[in-house]
Structure 1
């Protein structure tokens, strides 16, 4: 894939930051994991992705308001032990030590209603839960949270289109959250596009079912990096940390990609 897609452009790639707008099935390709025989692209560039050029019309600079810096939801109680994510629970609690003024909600408190209550007024939203991609009905793709009398706990793409966010970053530390259905106009309908349309400037999301421990490590590194780096460089350095200090195989670090402005 590197030989086909990247080598013909190599002489033109003089910057260390790249913006990639994939076409067709390339939306599902982890570009950071492309390998030239010596290095992964991750080791050469910091990357961000746009699902289509039309998304640029939605990107905006969020305005900070209020005292809460981040809402972090983790390991919601979904009524099935097979869906428990203890690493995600530890992850969001660890992040509260990195990001000041964080509201942490785990297990029964990680509700869809809490998300909607904070969504419009928090600059950073972090959801460490399961995501489901529905290729037959992309607008029904969803994040699984806890339901209550007001919301059923299934946060769908369709619902995201009705929200107004003011987020500089939404992190979906979950399974298959970055996937969408490639439409005839080469646009993507999925959770990432839903959050962009709702007003998020940047989304970090995964392309496949991720490793719990590796993801927790990556996320702590990401938020530490964000203290003095932009979104694009922060994700790259977090991925490099997992690759160099935990597991070198791309399965453990290449699932996550940044979509949005990069700032």
Structure 2
């Protein structure tokens, strides 16, 4: 885990200093963890570092808690995770006025919605902006950015290939288009052929894909649903790779779909991580199966925050999640808090 604050040292500078430290950090973690399955974390706060860990028994407890969280609406389970993960470092976070947490999870921790950790009064996302990285080496630190950035949106709202219709997708993407401009491929227009043709025709900074997505145990079982076909992990990597060396490479891929980020430990990068690996600078994806309604509301608000308030992606996501927290219609702790 890496923590930074905007006041003393810019977020980009904090990320860069952590990137320079990451090779040594990885070696240390491997030497410390050995062959055990214990959960270890690293904290690096603008020069301060500390290590904390848990034994095998606690690791198994964490896995059981994840299962309980998925099945119920009780905040006590996320409060326990808060005590284990955040309380040990909270005094340091407070003393240094930290406002952003950057997390690189491992193994089962990839399925953790850190934003929903609960301290008894507030969710973690109410206290910090959060960013989850597949690996520090997959992250670019580019401060350049243009006021006018093109966006390509693709969505499937109709029933397809045994998957139910997603009623809110068309409004979600239409609202994003009204904010960002760009091109919208909806239903019959959203084919793998048209998607590739658009990427070859124009340089897009943003790609929003709102459809069903499944992460299975193999590349063949991992895909996003398009009209009449499935976009596999390899298809997505090839598509994103088309713009990797252009003047305007893909800045942000948003996967507003069902179960898009969560995979098993054999392929835990997920579709979002594959996108970053292929050349997208950032990916926003859901962790677990989510409500079509809450997903659409959050995604629309995220892009509104990003465009109109010109804040960082982590802060835009936090602001959007805060809006859902304040809405009684999304009372479940994971409504909108399952994005990373």
The interval holding the TM-score normalised by the smaller chain is 0.7 to 0.9
Q: 1:114 Cα deviation (Å)?
A: 2.0
State the 1:189 CA deviation.
3.6
- 2:291 aligned residue: 211
In 2: Cα distance, 1:233 partner to 1:194 partner: 23
> Where do residues 65-80 of structure 1 align in structure 2 (5 Å cutoff)?
69-75=150-156, 77=158, 79=160
Higher relative contact order, structure no. (Cα contacts within 8 Å, ≥ 6 residues apart):
1
1:43 paired to 2:118: no
Question: Deviations 1:151-203 (Å, cap 9, x if unpaired)?
Answer: xx2111122333413211111000011113324xxx73421121011111111
Distance 1:33 1:140, change over 3 A: same
CA distance in 1, matches of 2:104, 2:141: 18
After TM superposition, give the deviation of residue 141 of structure 1 in Å.
Answer: 0.8
Q: Number of matched residues?
A: 244
Does the C-alpha gap of structure 1 residues 229 and 76 become closer, same or farther in structure 2, counting only changes over 3 Å?
A: same
Q: Unaligned 5+ residue runs, structure 2?
A: 1-80, 244-248
Bigger fraction of residues in strand: 1
Q: Indicate the structure with greater helix content.
A: 2
Partner of 1:171: 254
Q: Deviations over 1:176-234 (max 9, x none)?
A: 11113324xxx734211210111111111001111111122111111110122111100
CA distance in 2 between partners of 1:224 and 1:161 (Å): 27
Q: CA RMSD in A?
A: 2.3
Structure 2 counterparts to residues 1-263 of structure 1, below 5 A: 1-13=81-93, 14=96, 15-56=98-139, 59=140, 61=142, 69-75=150-156, 77=158, 79=160, 82-100=163-181, 102-119=182-199, 121-135=203-217, 137-138=218-219, 140-147=221-228, 153-163=229-239, 164=241, 165=243, 166-183=249-266, 188-227=268-307, 228-245=310-327, 246-257=329-340
After TM superposition, which residue ranges in structure 1, 4 or more long, deviate above 4 angstroms? 60-65
